Structure 1
Amino acid sequence: MERRTDLLTGRPAGGGARPRERADAARNRIRVLDAAAELFAAGDPRAVTMDDIAKAAGVGRGTLYRRYPDTTSIALALLDEHERRLQERLLRGDPPLGPGAPPDERLAAFYAAMVELLEGHIDLVLGAEAGGTRLTTGAYGFWRAHVRMLLAAAGVPGPDTLADVLLAPLASELYAHQRAQGRTPAEITAALTGLARAVLAGR
């Protein structure tokens, strides 16, 4: 079975109690994440380097690389808690985001929640998806499984292929481009709601 890494601590998740983090290691981790968050928010997250983060955090390169192999892993660590909260709402929250609503309403609610996440944390998502890593993240796998389940529940043919198609409009670079072109979050959400209804409603 694949082991999951806790992105906040850099240690394996699950499988019993984790070793207690040393106080100095915890301080360095917090300094690294705080420095990275500021750097990602200050400009183009894709231009931030590991050297930039090490200098801003006041830690050595070795200290940084022992915990995080690259800037993408740091961005993922920062995003992890936000994504976990959304995943919990999808699994056990109130409808229409959670179980109990028709598939088209649930997909529309998912789109709205994702637009909210992108709007609030676009700098982190851009950093986490640098280098084409979007499709390989655990979060993307979760979103894909959720959308595929909704497609299957609605009886839409080809859910395996269509799930990726329906997630494509949520790519961070596309969202950033749309916002730069003057589209508002409400306009983007409305367009995605229309897509959800066109694909899933009435089946």
Structure 2
Amino acid sequence: MTAPAGRAPTERADAARNRLRVLEAARRLLAADGFTELSLDAVAKEAGVGVGTVYRRFHNRPGLVYALIEDNETRFQEAFTRHCADGAPSAHDRLRAFLHGMAELVDDNRELLLLAEASAPAGRYRSAPFRRHHEQIAGMVTELAPGADAAYLADLLLMAYTPGLFDFQRTERGWDVDRIKGGLDVLIDGIGAAEEADRRLSHQ
């Protein structure tokens, strides 16, 4: 039997609610106990849903990990969209906000991203979020510096978020996120300055 026109099926709404409950429960457990203690059984108990519901939706722990990463990516993109709609910021300001937001996103999800990197070291470069980030950054770089190799520069900027490197900087080097953001600002300013220098030379 189909649902009446204009109404989503009850099962679909319940599934969406359960998915949110499971992801929020997983975040709470990660914050409290770290990834090593995360299990689908524990998440189901924390979320107040049946274990079968969690297994049917996510299949295994890696499936839950990637769902958390994708959900965090969605939140990041929504926040960036709101920023872009607020006062129509310049390409420089949008790129800066994007890269700063990425630094916070990676820092908040280091355990998850390190696990994903360990399971498929080169998988990051083929993932939908990486392709999306590359396209967005390349577009902003093109707007900021039309004469630059935007595709290469997007790759270069995204290297800053390689989970293993980012974690090394945070733990072994002891750098805080503001220091990483500051380094990214220098790169952004350098891209803009190089474009301006080229423009001056072309008009001499």
TM-score of the two chains, using structure 2 as the length reference: 0.68
* Match of residue 111, structure 2, among 112, 123, 140: 123
Kindly indicate whether the alpha-carbon contact (under 8 Å) linking 2:84 and 2:94 is maintained by their aligned counterparts in 1: no
Kindly indicate whether the alpha-carbon contact (under 8 Å) linking 1:71 and 1:127 is maintained by their aligned counterparts in 2: no
1:190 aligns with 2:182: yes
1:114 aligns with 2:102: yes
Query: Cα deviations across residues 156-183 of structure 1 (Å, max 9, x unaligned)?
Result: 4432233222101012222222110210
1:19 aligns with 2:6: no
1:57 aligns with 2:49: no
Kindly indicate whether the alpha-carbon contact (under 8 Å) linking 1:126 and 1:173 is maintained by their aligned counterparts in 2: yes
Structure number with larger C-alpha Rg? 2
Query: In 2, distance between residues paired with 1:90 and 1:69?
Result: 31
Equivalent pairs counted in the alignment come to: 181
Query: Cα deviations across residues 12-48 of structure 1 (Å, max 9, x unaligned)?
Result: xxxx9753337986786456434532443423x3x56
* Matched residue type, 1:100: P
Structure 2 match to 1:171: 162
Kindly indicate whether the alpha-carbon contact (under 8 Å) linking 2:138 and 2:151 is maintained by their aligned counterparts in 1: yes
In structure 1, the gaps of 5 or more residues are: 1-15
**1:183 alignment partner, SS class:** coil
* Matched residue type, 2:131: G
* Match of residue 143, structure 1, among 133, 138, 160: 133
Structure 2 match to 1:11: none
Structure 2 match to 1:159: 150
Identical amino acids, percent of aligned pairs:
33
Going by fraction, where is helix more abundant, 1 or 2? 2
**CA 1:173 to 1:107, structure 2 compared with 1: closer, same or farther past 3 Å?**
same
**2:11 alignment partner, SS class:** coil
Query: In 2, distance between residues paired with 1:83 and 1:67?
Result: 19
Query: In 1, distance between residues paired with 2:20 and 2:141?
Result: 40
In structure 2, the gaps of 5 or more residues are: 1-5, 196-204
Query: In 1, distance between residues paired with 2:70 and 2:116?
Result: 10
